[in-house]
Structure 1
Amino acid sequence: MEFPEEVLRAVGAGAVWSSDHEGLSGDVWKAGSSYVKRAGVDERERLLWLGEHFEMPSIKAFADGWLVLANVGAPSLASADPLVAATVMGTTLRSLHALPIDSCPFDARVAVVLEKARRNVEAGLVDPDDFDDDNLGATPSELLERLVATAPPDEDLVVAHGDFCPPNVLHRPDGSTVLIDVSRLGVSDRHRDLALAHRELGEEAAAAFDRAYGLTPRPERLAWYRLLDEFF
């Protein structure tokens, strides 16, 4: 893997590189005290904006589609006890969703995400082998038709993370949290986040999540936003 000079300078000449770390894929590397990941301008802009309201990993460099982030020194909730993870996630999400939507410059309303889903299908970026079990056997085009036909007529808008799941919430021993992987952040129905949290946590932990968040989700909205996630 070749990295831009700006990235290498930000990481440091003596950094040890590894992709064998919790929650990291082939496009995310740990390098010394930094993380290096594939990312577009969208994620960089969202990191900067959300950093005005929440603690976020600081950006050390951004060049040629590679983002260098400082290691905040906190593990993700992916390996935490599910009930602990659920409670922390519910409390954290309640704070995120309390941000005024007028302050957020990023749009992830239904019309916007439907158009992005359509472009992803047309570009061949939606893999039917990765669909949830109840959608296996459908083609991306068939699933898109279902998504459009069942789109909600109204939205309960908040500033949504867009990929709110345990690996994307870092949790320190003092109880503070740091959000990562915010490339989908934008003004959206709150159920976009609730749906993914429910899917990842399971039934028992999801109940604890709902108590911490302070709201009982609408099942039909959870189902639609889970369907939406198949396209991203």
Structure 2
Amino acid sequence: MFILSDKIKNLIGNESFSYDDVGMSDSTVIIFIDKVLKIQTVSEESEHEYEVMKWLQDKLPVPGILAYEKTDDKNYLLMTKVPGEMSCADQYMRNPEQLVNLLAEGLKMLWKVDISNCTYMHRLDEKLQMAKYNVQNNLVDMDNVELETFGENGFQSPEHLLKWLITNRPEEELVFSHGDFCLPNVFLSGKKISGYIDLGRAGIADRWQDIALCYRSLLHNFEGKYCDKKYQGFRADILFEKLDIVPDWDKIRYYILLDELF
């Protein structure tokens, strides 16, 4: 049971609501008519999300902040509801050319953010420290990793993977990164990006961080990993064509493996 502050109660009034169960987050997300209340356990990531959202208000289409309250163990973030639909909505999945074109535009919008005065760092120094903490505290969710990551033909354990990631860290091409650029976190309205959500890992990072997770998310969604519906005839490599880049498969693999520890 959550105890809401008077400020948040007054803002939501008696509006009808529903719970959002999309995604892998352990937060509680309550959807109102034009607002969203996100309740999370107090952590570095949950506090970072609030701070980076404030910084992004005039830079990217992100939710507006209506109220933020913090108790001993919970953060309550009330924000405006992003218009449109998740990019994994059926209408976009049935039009992969349009979908990937919009996602490529969404990546480019992030990379155009001026990072010269950005203090939010999510470079490999920070990410590997966070990954180390997760490994040492048994926080790696082994039920939601890729089948090939661990086991006979993969890594022996999260500790083994972490050691490999530290040894094989690549050079970084720094941009402003979403940090978890998966289809449910990018909203579309018509033929444009209407918003980014779940910004707890956003900040300065290698641009291949977002490319890798976008690529993986496209594959998983079109293969029907998160629902019973599979979409035939999709070629994930068109992402690189839309971005006009040559895929760096070593970096893509690296950042997908790094994400296994989060």
TM-score by length of 1: 0.90
Question: What code does the residue aligned with 1:89 have?
Answer: L
Structure 1: unaligned runs, 5 residues or longer: none
SS of 1:19 mapped into structure 2: strand
Q: Distance in 2 between matches of 1:22 and 1:120?
A: 23
Check whether the contact 2:172–2:205 (CA below 8 A) recurs between aligned residues. yes
Q: Which residue pairs with 2:175 in the alignment?
A: 158
- In structure 2, which of residues 132, 140, 160 is the aligned counterpart of residue 142 of structure 1? 160
User: Which deviates the most, 135-144 or 188-197?
Assistant: 135-144
Kindly indicate which of the two structures has a greater share of residues assigned to helix. 1
Deviation, 1:22, is: 5.5
Q: Which residue pairs with 2:188 in the alignment?
A: 171
SS of 2:217 mapped into structure 1: helix
1:226 aligned to 2:256?
yes
The two structures, once aligned, show a CA RMSD in angstroms of 2.0
Residue deviations 1:37-94 (CA, integer Å, cap 9, x gap) = 1342210111111222112111111112011111133111011223322110101111
Matched ranges for 1:56-205 at <5 A: 56-64=62-70, 65-79=75-89, 80-81=92-93, 82-137=96-151, 138-152=156-170, 154-173=171-190, 175-202=192-219, 204-205=234-235
Deviation, 1:36, is: 1.1
Structure 2: unaligned runs, 5 residues or longer: 41-45, 223-233
Residue deviations 1:143-166 (CA, integer Å, cap 9, x gap) = 2122212211x2111111100011
Q: Distance in 1 between matches of 2:122 and 2:23?
A: 25
**Moved beyond 6 Å, runs of 4+:** none
Q: Go from structure 1 to structure 2 and tell me whether the alpha carbon gap of 1:176 and 1:200 turns closer, same or farther (over 3 Å shift).
A: closer
Q: Which residue pairs with 1:51 in the alignment?
A: 57
Q: Distance in 1 between matches of 2:193 and 2:140?
A: 35
Residue deviations 1:112-147 (CA, integer Å, cap 9, x gap) = 110110011122211222211111334222221222
Q: Go from structure 1 to structure 2 and tell me whether the alpha carbon gap of 1:158 and 1:24 turns closer, same or farther (over 3 Å shift).
A: closer
TM-score by length of 2: 0.81
Deviation, 1:7, is: 2.6
Q: Go from structure 1 to structure 2 and tell me whether the alpha carbon gap of 1:66 and 1:212 turns closer, same or farther (over 3 Å shift).
A: same
Check whether the contact 1:210–1:216 (CA below 8 A) recurs between aligned residues. yes
Question: What code does the residue aligned with 1:193 have?
Answer: D
Q: Which residue pairs with 2:39 in the alignment?
A: 38
Q: Which residue pairs with 1:10 in the alignment?
A: 11
Check whether the contact 1:127–1:140 (CA below 8 A) recurs between aligned residues. no
Check whether the contact 2:140–2:261 (CA below 8 A) recurs between aligned residues. yes
Q: Distance in 1 between matches of 2:160 and 2:52?
A: 32
Check whether the contact 2:83–2:194 (CA below 8 A) recurs between aligned residues. no
User: Which deviates the most, 141-150 or 186-195?
Assistant: 141-150
